[in-house]
Amino acid sequence: MNFVIPDVNLISLLPEIILLIFATILLFVQTGSEKKRICALLAFIGLVITLVMVPFYWGKGIEGFGGLVIRDNFSLMCQTMIIVAVLLAVVYSYQYLVFEDKNIGEYYALTLTSVMGMNIMITGTDLIVIFLGMEILSISLYVLVAFFKTVREGMEASVKYMLLGAFASAIFLLGISFFYGASGKTALNAFVMLDGTSAMAMPLFFMGLSLILVGLGFKIASAPFHMWAPDAYEGAPTSVASLLSVAPKIAGLAVIFRVGIGMAKYSPEIMMTIIAFMAVTSMIVGNFAALRQSGLVRMLAYSGIAQVGYMLISLLGIREGGGSALLFYLFIYVLMNMGAFGIAVLLTKEKDKRLLIEDMKGLAGQHPIIAFTMAVFLISMAGIPPMGGFFAKFYVFKHGIEAGYLWVVIVAIITTVVSLYYYFRVIIVMYMTEEEEKGILPKHAEVNLFNAVLVAVALLIIVLGVIPGSLLEIAQHAVAF
Amino acid sequence: MGFYHYLSFGIILFSIGVVGFIIRNNTVVLLMSVELMLNSVNLIFVAFSRYLHGTEGQVYVFITMAIAAAEVAVGLAIVISIYRLFGTLDISKIKLLKG
């Protein structure tokens, strides 16, 4: 038996290596009074370096570790979105964490390792590599959710997230083992059904595929596997919740896309049925549960579940180029969801107190810019024309209809109408209620970096809503294999 | 003892883990159920590896063991903090978050 050493091409993992180096440095930062600023700056620099590297990889399709890792345009596009989301989360964390919080270095180090895990997930072409990335991501996030270990809500959120996440990982791993049994391999792009074992291979393959999708469904918080999400988002520090609500969903959806592309020639009807079921239940559960929420973060959590349902529709048309609609929707989703969570970070005054929608009374009178950006994010989530969210939904529905899933799109349109109610309730509270004596924010909030970031994100959403062409072109380029 | 015995044994162990995860309330028992599930997958990997005359499945077992160890290390740390804060390990009594 001859053993061939695979071609280890470390260039293919350079962004992850840089993230790991910065995470390690962050663990050793000991500078007393300036620690908060230096840690945030280090994390920011590490992320910016990995973002700058994207154009150099674009179009090259560099492979590494004997094909286990591939940095193609699709993974680069997902990497860009993840890093944009995490950069925003770092800005939010800088605002949210006060000086007394110890272990700030560990906070940012865990953020960077979670980004590393997500990057491994989206670049991996082998299920075991994807599983490794998923675990790096999940374990970092369990600790981040439990970061304030004296806050009861945060610890409860963490234990629920950790137990259900570990359960989902075990189910995903069982799926991988069935997949391995059916094909003798775990590679997604080189899947070949074994001859001679066909009687058992086909059922095993379908069971493996279903279990893998269930495991990923947990990670992207799609119904009926969503029950951890609202608790985890509400209990977690709000800056962590913003990260949690966006970044793992990008990675999970990217993996579902890769699985779908890899399986395209082996009758993926069963996969499409599962995805359609997950999409419909997510849209119904997410939108109707969001109607009766009084907490802002919890409402955003359920709206995030509904948004995942819309994104899954684009995967139904995976063979007809639905991936471009997925990438477009994900990009808009990153901007609008991170924006809305940014407002939540700004308004969270005390760490162990829930932020209610009623707390936002009269925000428009005192802080017109913040109220306006929040309105932009919410209108974009509802999918109303001038914003980017409209085109995102439009492309997704178009691909769903072209793939022949008209009934799913009809459910999506009905639930979108339902969603208008809870998005506009927030806007009405902000704009149409009496000003209170003492608002939630201090009267003279200065113009700082944080507000500038929020305004920039809101402007980007409006720009992408008016001229969506160039982003869509990049997305189509990214999914053309 | 053939391949199907090992496969069935692995699947039965996994099901016991799933049932334990669903019906028990103690956080430590829940972690143990998850560990049982991960280890039963190891058994299935080895069984398939032997059946297919490949070696990859046996290598995956080591990867899975390392991941399970990392997961249980973080899990037990969280469980200890939970016990310090709430004075109980019963997950059905820890419910500040709801809605």
Cross-chain Cβ contact B17/A170 below 8 Å: yes
The band of A358, judged by pLDDT with boundaries at 50, 70 and 90, is confident
N-to-C CA span, chain B: 51
Query: Rg (Cα) of chain A, in Å, rounded?
Result: 22
Q: Searching chain B, which residue's CA lies closest to the CA of residue A299?
A: B99
Residues of B in contact with A170 (CB under 8 A): 14, 17, 34, 37-38, 41
Residues of A in contact with B81 (CB under 8 A): 146, 149, 155
Cα(A436)–Cα(A429) distance, integer angstroms? 12
Element (H, E) at B95: none
The band of A100, judged by pLDDT with boundaries at 50, 70 and 90, is low
Establish, for the pair of chains A and B, how many residue pairs have beta carbons separated by less than 8 Å.
Answer: 115
Using CB atoms, which residue from B51, B74, B96 is nearest to A156?
Answer: B96
Residue A214 has pLDDT above 90, yes or no: yes
Residue A107 has pLDDT above 60, yes or no: yes
Cross-chain Cβ contact B63/A169 below 8 Å: no
Residue A90 has pLDDT above 80, yes or no: yes
Query: Across A58-72, A319-333, A457-471, B24-38, which has the greatest mean pLDDT?
Result: B24-38
Cα(A27)–Cα(B15) distance, integer angstroms? 40
How long a stretch of residues is chain A? 481
Pairing assessment for the beta strands A69-71 and A62-64 based on DSSP bridges: antiparallel
Residues of B in contact with A185 (CB under 8 A): 56
Q: Searching chain A, which residue's CA lies closest to the CA of residue B83?
A: A155
Residue B21 has pLDDT above 60, yes or no: yes
The amino acid present at A453, given as its one-letter code, is V
- Three-state SS string over chain A comes to CCCCCCCCCHHHHHHHHHHHHHHHHHHCCCCHHHHHHHHHHHHHHHHHHHHHCHHHHCCCCEEEHHHCEEECHHHHHHHHHHHHHHHHHHHHHHHHCCCCCCCHHHHHHHHHHHHHHHHHHHHECEHHHHHHHHHHHHHHHHHHHCCCCCCHHHHHHHHHHHHHHHHHHHHHHHHHHHHHHHHCCCECCCCCCCCCCHHHHHHHHHHHHHHHHHHHHHHCCCCCCCCHHHHHHHHCCHHHHHHHHHHHHHHHHHHHHHHHHHCCCCCCHHHHHHHHHHHHHHHHHHHHHHHCCCEHHHHHHHHHHHHHHHHHHHHHCHHHCHHHHHHHHHHHHHHHHHHHHHHHHHHCCCCCCCCEHHHHCCHHHHCHHHHHHHHHHHHHHHCCCCCHHHHHHHHHHHHHHHCCCHHHHHHHHHHHHHHHHHHHHHHHHHHHCCCCCCCCCCCCCCCCHHHHHHHHHHHHHHHHHHCCHHHHHHHHHHHCC
Residues of B in contact with A167 (CB under 8 A): 21, 34, 37
Residues of B in contact with A139 (CB under 8 A): 70-71, 74
Which residues of B fall below an 8 Å CB-CB distance to A? Answer: 14, 17, 21, 27, 30-31, 34, 37-38, 41, 44-45, 48, 51-52, 54, 56-57, 60, 63-64, 67, 70-71, 74-75, 78-79, 81-82, 85-86, 91, 94-99
Residue B77 has pLDDT above 90, yes or no: yes
pLDDT computed for residue B45 by the predictor: 93
Cross-chain Cβ contact A159/B91 below 8 Å: yes
B31 CA to chain A: closest CA distance, Å? Answer: 7
pLDDT computed for residue A95 by the predictor: 83
Q: Find the helix packing angle between A368-382 and A406-432, rounded to 10°.
A: 160
Residue A279 has pLDDT above 90, yes or no: yes
Instruction: Note the pLDDT tens digit of each residue in B33-56.
Output: 999 999 999 999 999 998 888 888
The band of A66, judged by pLDDT with boundaries at 50, 70 and 90, is confident
Backbone angles phi, psi at A124, to 5 degrees: -70, 140
Cross-chain Cβ contact A194/B94 below 8 Å: no
Which of the four CATH numbers 1.10.1060.10, 3.10.20.440, 1.10.287.3510, 1.10.10.10 does domain B3-89 have? 1.10.287.3510
A91-100, A424-433, A451-460: range with lowest mean pLDDT:
A91-100
What are the sequence ranges of the domains in chain A? 268-481
Using CB atoms, which residue from B51, B52, B74 is nearest to A162?
Answer: B74
- pTM value? 0.93
Instruction: Note the pLDDT tens digit of each residue in A232-265.
Output: 999 898 899 999 999 999 999 999 998 888 877 6
Q: Searching chain B, which residue's CA lies closest to the CA of residue A184?
A: B52
Residue A150 has pLDDT above 90, yes or no: no
Residues of B in contact with A135 (CB under 8 A): 67, 70-71
Using CB atoms, which residue from B41, B51, B91 is nearest to A174?
Answer: B41
The mean per-residue pLDDT over the stretch A110-127 comes to 94
Query: Rg (Cα) of chain B, in Å, rounded?
Result: 17
Q: How many CB atoms lie within 10 A of CB B72?
A: 17
Cα(A480)–Cα(A478) distance, integer angstroms? 6
Cross-chain Cβ contact A181/B52 below 8 Å: yes
The mean per-residue pLDDT over the stretch A222-239 comes to 90
Cross-chain Cβ contact A155/B99 below 8 Å: no
Average pLDDT of chain A to the nearest whole number: 87
pLDDT computed for residue A108 by the predictor: 93
The mean per-residue pLDDT over the stretch B5-19 comes to 94
